[in-house]
């Protein structure tokens, strides 16, 4: 997912509009190319399809360019005048869709936060879209992932009966990536299963406070997964700042996509609890002393709480790897050659993950300058810091195609014992 990054400015928002941190993707209609915009936070519900000349306009909604400035740039780029009423109407339309920073978006943000905090549960947001909404059909769908030709075989793994410490699992649409999830969850199915699971999800819309914890129980078509109130309550006392963005859990999918597997394979046999955590920081950001301190404080504090509880626990990191193609900011679609080269880099990058070396994992991505946009870095890094394991193993690797331009997301299942 590509983002339009903006900077805020204390200027008249009607003359210096600021686009919110939206995602965008190119699409084709016949021979024409357009750009579709949407809000990953779920605050704005609609998608907006723009012709390329209008996309040029909104890319300059950064709080630094006035409407007059943008008109001059448009004239230079396209050789025609941009009628003031057209650009003013565009600003009004985007504001109504909550795509611009300002009073309307802030009021909607406060309302969404209040509604989430007053709710009894974090309700399933993606059932019926990315996986079956009916409980019985969902259980059958999960079983089908295991028995499909891309799924794991039925031979017992070498780790059968051992205490499982962690899993890396995709966060891609279950209908497409379900068999890859199954490779990791088969290891959990055959292992000695704990009753406590720390579920780390990538916050795709970004976070200001790096980590976002929620104390809500999670609802899925298979029932309710209880959040571990003892661990989460202790976190709230020690690090209340990590609950400031708890409402962002409602729109993010990375944790939700793990829960049907946990419920079906473990929760149907014993009571389980989860510690649900969204996280968003990059490998390069760890070189910033403030970010590093925040990450260290949270992960050390959480690990101390987990160890002090005396309970066995498993950490599950929902993570995607590389993002290739025009949807993610590349100038051209990926080729078979560029995909296979990226696959080699992914597997090299995961070597230090298998060896439980989080700093070497970070260094690999920094050395690449994160050119392949490894979105799951923060969850995998956090997992490595939280678990006490002997080794990790890549079980299965695959990719998903996300648009008409062959834009590609890669992902893997891993286990740690």
pLDDT, tens digit, for every residue of 320-346? 999 999 999 899 999 999 999 999 999
pLDDT at 274: 98
Q: Would 2-110 and 125-416 be classified into the same CATH topology?
A: no
Mean pLDDT of 130-137: 97
pLDDT at 357: 98
User: Is residue 1 over pLDDT 60?
Assistant: no
Assign residue 147 a region: left if phi > 0, alpha if psi is -120 to 50, beta otherwise?
A: alpha
Domain ranges of the chain: 2-110, 125-416
Residue found by looking up tokens 């490595």 in the block: 384
Residues 6 or more apart in contact with residue 85 via CB below 8 angstroms? none
pLDDT, tens digit, 9 for 90 and up, residues 264-314: 999 999 999 999 999 999 999 999 999 999 999 999 999 999 999 999 999
User: Is residue 9 over pLDDT 50?
Assistant: no
3-state SS class at 360: helix
User: Is residue 8 over pLDDT 50?
Assistant: no
Residues 6 or more apart in contact with residue 185 via CB below 8 angstroms? 167, 169, 261, 265
Q: What is the sign, positive or negative, of the torsion defined by CA atoms of 102, 108, 112, 113?
A: positive
Task: Give, in words, the CATH class of 2-110.
Answer: alpha beta
pLDDT, tens digit, 9 for 90 and up, residues 61-104: 999 999 999 999 999 999 999 999 999 999 999 999 999 999 99
Give backbone dihedrals phi and psi of 219, rounded to 5 degrees, phi first: -105, 135
d(CA 113, CA 39): 16
DSSP 372-412: T--TTHHHHHHHHHH---S-EEEEEEEEEE-STT--EEEEE
3-state SS class at 192: strand
In the chain, % of residues over pLDDT 70: 98
Count other C-beta atoms under 10 Å from residue 313's C-beta: 23
d(CA 19, CA 94): 8
User: Is residue 6 over pLDDT 70?
Assistant: no
Assign residue 157 a region: left if phi > 0, alpha if psi is -120 to 50, beta otherwise?
A: beta
3-state SS class at 76: helix
Cβ-in-10-Å burial (0-12, 13-18, 19+) of 126 comes to middle
In the chain, % of residues over pLDDT 90: 91
d(CA 322, CA 110): 33
- In CATH, 125-416 is 3.40.830.10: yes
pLDDT, tens digit, 9 for 90 and up, residues 160-207: 999 999 999 999 999 999 999 999 999 999 999 999 999 999 999 999
d(CA 164, CA 258): 16
User: Is residue 115 over pLDDT 50?
Assistant: yes
pLDDT at 3: 53
Q: What pairing do the DSSP bridges indicate for beta strands 392-401 and 323-324?
A: unpaired
């Amino acid at each position: 997912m590509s983002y339009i990054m903006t900077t805020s400015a204390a200027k008249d928002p009607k003359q210096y509009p600021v686009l919110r941190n939206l995602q965008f993707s190119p699409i084709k209609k016949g021979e024409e190319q357009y750009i579709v915009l949407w809000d990953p936070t779920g605050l704005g519900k609609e998608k907006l399809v723009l012709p390329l000349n209008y996309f040029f306009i909104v890319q300059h909604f950064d709080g630094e360019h006035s409407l007059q400035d943008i008109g001059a740039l448009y004239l230079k780029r396209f050789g025609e005048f941009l009628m003031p009423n057209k650009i003013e109407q565009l600003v009004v339309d985007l504001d109504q869709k909550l795509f611009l920073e300002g009073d309307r978006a802030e009021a909607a943000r406060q309302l969404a936060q209040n509604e989430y905090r007053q709710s009894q549960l974090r309700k399933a947001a993606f059932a019926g879209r990315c996986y079956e909404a009916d409980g019985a059909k969902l259980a059958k769908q999960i079983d089908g992932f295991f028995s499909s030709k891309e799924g794991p075989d039925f031979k017992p793994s070498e780790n059968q009966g051992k205490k499982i410490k962690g899993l890396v699992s995709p966060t891609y649409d279950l209908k497409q990536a379900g068999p890859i999830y199954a490779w990791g969850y088969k290891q959990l199915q055959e292992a000695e299963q704990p009753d406590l699971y720390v579920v780390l999800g990538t916050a795709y819309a970004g976070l200001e406070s790096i980590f976002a914890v929620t104390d809500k129980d999670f609802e899925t078509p298979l029932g309710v997964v209880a959040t571990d109130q003892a661990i989460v309550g202790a976190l709230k006392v020690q690090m209340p700042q990590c609950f400031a963005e708890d409402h962002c859990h409602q729109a993010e999918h990375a944790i939700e996509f793990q829960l049907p597997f946990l419920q079906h394979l473990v929760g149907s046999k014993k009571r389980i609890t989860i510690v649900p955590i969204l996280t968003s920081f990059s490998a390069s950001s760890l070189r910033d002393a403030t970010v590093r301190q925040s990450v260290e404080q949270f992960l050390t504090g959480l690990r101390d709480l987990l160890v002090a509880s005396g309970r066995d626990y498993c950490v599950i990191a929902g993570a995607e790897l590389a993002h290739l193609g025009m949807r993610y900011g590349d100038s051209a679609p990926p080729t078979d050659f560029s995909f296979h080269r990226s696959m080699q880099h992914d597997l090299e990058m995961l070597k230090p993950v298998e060896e439980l070396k989080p700093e070497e994992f970070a260094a690999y991505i920094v050395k690449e300058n994160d050119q392949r946009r490894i979105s799951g870095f923060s969850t995998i890094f956090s997992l490595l810091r939280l678990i006490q394991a002997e080794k990790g193993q890549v079980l299965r690797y695959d990719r998903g195609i996300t648009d008409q331009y062959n834009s590609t997301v890669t992902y893997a299942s891993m286990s740690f014992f």
